[in-house]
Amino acid sequence: MNIRFLGTSHGVPLPKRHCQSFLIETDGGDYLFDAGAPVMDILINENYDLKRLRAVFVTHMHSDHFTGLLDLTCLASWYYKDMNFQVFLPEQGGITAIKSYSAAIYSNLSKRVQLKLFSAGEVFSENGFTVLAYHTDHMDATSNIAYGFLVKTSKKSVYITGDMHRTLKDFNPLLATEKTDLVVAECAHFEPSALFEKLKDCKTAAVAVVHVFPVEKYEQLKALAPKLPFKMLFPNDGDVYKV
Ligand SMILES: [Zn+2]
Ligand SMILES: [Zn+2]
């Protein structure tokens, strides 16, 4: 599979970096993880075959992971009529927001765009492509909820941390025992050294660090990279990695 980085920024966009969004491309179709970037604009700009999109998964309801979905779902409904995909949201508020936006712009949400709530555990599985959600404490100051995702095919697996708690108490312990091919980790809510302490025990072939704030942390992360027993990658928007 390929992972295409559509947006690698933290809470707000930066020059040449949209907010968080990644597309995982497989032979059987593609899957979007978070939609903080203007996803539809980017895909159109890349002459992407929109029929390939099978499902969208949102880690949590912060704007830097969600707002691109408003346009994606509405444009798929009224204009791009060969699109047909499911959207998995962690809270009812996300479903309400998409429906309200659609109504406000005098658009009807198509049945081809299916909005679904998910919770921890297996979220989705088709043709050997499986997504499992793991709770994080990123939003523990409120009653809201946030998740990381483990994405598996028969041969490969990718873990997306989502946004985590400032103490990293919710860094998924599974990553120290289960082999993964790539971990996509955020680095906005804690120091790079704290993330390094968690990463060094991971049984992964590589880590891609995204959602970095402030951007000065890139230098600290690059200094730590040679001490890890696997590759540390620093994707920019538009980069594609083969997993
Ligand atoms: Zn975020
Ligand atoms: Zn967040």
Ligand at minimal distance from the CA of 62 is 2
Q: What percent of the chain has pLDDT over 70?
A: 98
Give 199-228 as a 3 state SS string. HCCCCECEEEEEEECCCCHHHHHHHHHHHC
Question: How much is the pLDDT for 143?
Answer: 64
Question: How much is the pLDDT for 140?
Answer: 75
For the segment 63-119, what is each residue's pLDDT rounded down to a tens digit?
999 999 999 999 999 999 999 999 999 999 999 999 999 999 999 999 999 999 999
Q: What gap in Å lies between CA 36 and CA 22, rounded to an integer?
A: 10
Please give the mean pLDDT across all residues of the chain: 97
Question: How much is the pLDDT for 168?
Answer: 97
The CA 62 to ligand 2 mean position distance, Å, reads 5
The CA 58 to ligand 2 mean position distance, Å, reads 11
Question: How much is the pLDDT for 141?
Answer: 65
The CA 59 to ligand 1 mean position distance, Å, reads 9
Q: Average pLDDT of 28-57?
A: 98
What are phi and psi for residue 79, nearest 5 degrees? -120, -55
Q: List the shell of residues around ion ligand 1, using CB closer than 5 Å.
A: 64, 163
The pTM of this model reads 0.97
Ligand at minimal distance from the CA of 188 is 1
The CA 63 to ligand 2 mean position distance, Å, reads 8
For the segment 131-147, what is each residue's pLDDT rounded down to a tens digit?
999 999 998 766 669 99
Count of structural domains, the chain: 1
| CATH number assigned to the domain comprising residue 46 | 3.60.15.10
The CA 163 to ligand 2 mean position distance, Å, reads 5
Ligand at minimal distance from the CA of 141 is 2
Domain that holds residue 48: 2-242
